[in-house]
Amino acid sequence: MPGDQVEHTPARPSWDCQACGRPWPCDPARDRLSRENGRVELAVKMWDHIEEAARDMPQSPASELFDRFLRWTD
Ligand SMILES: [Zn+2]
């Protein structure tokens, strides 16, 4: 088995996906997150990510972070 498979996880501090380079959470990451978490757990987890991302990317508007990290969970 190849040992270089990269997970769809965020690179810090850019929050681009380490596997596909798209803004995280990319589609594969969203699929996995919604499979592995209940609706409430998922929302709590994504709020934590928003707080971390806001510290890493203070130039990003809160509304943009909200759309990116939380809106898709509805
Ligand atoms: Zn990805």
Would the pLDDT of 31 be above 70? Answer: yes
pLDDT score recorded for residue 59: 96
Would the pLDDT of 36 be above 90? Answer: yes
Ligand 1 ion: Cβ-proximal residues, 5 Å cutoff: 8, 17, 19-20, 26
pLDDT score recorded for residue 52: 97
Would the pLDDT of 24 be above 70? Answer: yes
Give the separation between CA 52 and CA 13, rounded to whole angstroms: 9
**What is the Å distance from ligand 1's center to 23 Cα?**
8
Contact between 19 and 7 (Cβ < 8 Å): yes
Nearest to 47 by CA among 74, 70, 24, 22: 70
- The answer to the question of residue 68 being in a domain is yes
Q: Compute the average pLDDT of residues 53-62.
A: 96
**What is the Å distance from ligand 1's center to 7 Cα?**
7
Q: How many domains does the chain have?
A: 1
Q: Please give the torsion angle defined by the CA atoms of residues 39, 43, 44 and 47, in that order, rounded to the nearest 10 degrees.
A: 170
**Cβ neighbour number for residue 18 with a 10 Å cutoff:** 15
Would the pLDDT of 1 be above 60? Answer: no
Which range marks the domain in which residue 32 is found? 10-73
**What is the Å distance from ligand 1's center to 17 Cα?**
5
pLDDT score recorded for residue 4: 67
Residue type, 16: D
